[in-house]
Amino acid sequence: MINFIGTYDCKADAKGRVMLPVALKNQMAPVLKEGFVIKRSVFQPCLELYPMAEWNLLMQKMNKKNRFKKKNNDFIRRFSAGVKMIEIDATGRLLIPKNLVAVAGIAKEVVLSSAINIVEIWDKDSYEKVLDETAEDFASLAEEVMGDDGDDSEDVS
């Protein structure tokens, strides 16, 4: 499993190409040859970039869903809408498909934000807006998500 670290400001050209920062490209080196999957986020107006191995793990989990339940089938259809396989080219550029550029509202300024095993791709204004909106509630969110949930694993802090 790969863990990405960092948040990077980048620029997208008119064709939707984004030059990866060297620090992020170096982190991606072990998985570059396998390729990536890019998709719209479920919860936010951004895109998600999955290394192929991470995508395959997620697909194994999704494949266990009973497709004869309408709710599951509808979810899988919506989840996979617009999904594309992509590669990072030899110069370190990522080409974001035009339909996904529109979905995420990406203009020129882009933020690549690590989210553990994937990278979120944001329009810079949208990213800053979401950070501002969640800033006030972050302490209570952290407590709820990471606070004592009764398991015996070691503390994170």
Taking the domains of the chain in order of start, what are their residue ranges?
7-145
Which value, to the nearest 10 degrees, does the dihedral of the CA atoms of residues 108, 118, 28, 110 take? 10
pLDDT tens digit sequence for 50-66: 999 999 999 999 999 99
Kindly report the CATH class assigned to 7-145.
alpha beta
Antiparallel, parallel or unpaired: β 7-11 and 109-115: antiparallel
pLDDT tens digit sequence for 86-117: 999 989 999 999 999 999 999 999 999 999 99
Confidence label for 153 from pLDDT (cuts 50, 70 and 90): low
